[in-house]
Amino acid sequence: MDATHNKHAYQCLPMTYANVYGWELCLPHDVVVEWDGTHNPVKVLSGGEFNGLTVASGNISGMVTFRTNCAFQTESGYDLWIGGSPNYFVNGAEPLSAIIPSSWWPDPFDMNWKINKINEPVVFESGSPFMFFYIFDNSLLQNTEVEFSVLYEDREFVEKRKKYNEMKMKNQAENPWTWTKGIKTGLDADGNRIGPEFTGLPKLQEPHG
């Protein structure tokens, strides 16, 4: 996102919302790994330990494991989603995702990345996030009903959508590299309120202990 023109991607509310919807664990220093493409474990070339604790270790099948050295616990009914930080990328590696039933899980959790370069060093930079997590209600999905309908058969919806798209195209022509921000204002192309005004990204509490 930083590499987009004028950091344009940060104007996208759904993306920036996802970026802050959880917590990150970050590396204290560079970790450099390399995989030969076989069943041999990934080699940790440097940065595998910090203050006597294992930070990263090689695994089979092109995997590198980052140790959190932490156990996670939530109240009953809530679990943790674990993965890579949203919209953050590492050249040569992809994060795996997992869900921890964290109201009872007793062990420290490890975060795994799949290396997809062969015989080339892959660098996880100092200060970069190696894990992202957020808490969710584990009853929500199983109590959710999903219904599909063909909205474009709704003539009123089609007309509103057409008018909104015309407004977006006009704005892009007159004000390049800006957004109409309809999601933030909650207003349609005629200025009618169709949703709540967005009041700001969530501010999560700082971890303490």
Helix (H), strand (E), coil (C) string for 66-93: EECCCCCCCCCCEEEEEECCCCCCECCE
- For the ranges 12-16, 31-35, 142-146, 177-181, the one whose mean pLDDT is highest: 31-35
Is residue 111 predicted with pLDDT exceeding 90?
yes
Top pLDDT among 16 and 8 is at 16
Top pLDDT among 23 and 2 is at 23
Phi, psi dihedral angles at 31 (to 5 degrees): -120, 125
> Which of 125, 21, 30, 35 minimizes the C-alpha distance to 83?
21
* Residue reference for tokens 């207003």: 187
- Reported as a single tens digit per residue, the pLDDT across 172-197 is 888 887 777 777 888 888 888 888 88
CATH of domain 5-143: 2.70.40.10
Q: Provide the residue ranges of all domains of the chain, joining segments of one domain with +.
A: 5-143, 148-200
The CA distance from 59 to 117, in Å, is 15
What element of type H or E holds 59?
none
For 77, how many CA atoms within 13 A lie in the half-sphere containing its CB? 3
Q: Which residues contact 178 (CB under 8 A, 6 or more apart)?
A: 11, 171, 172
Task: Report helix, strand or coil for 108.
Answer: coil
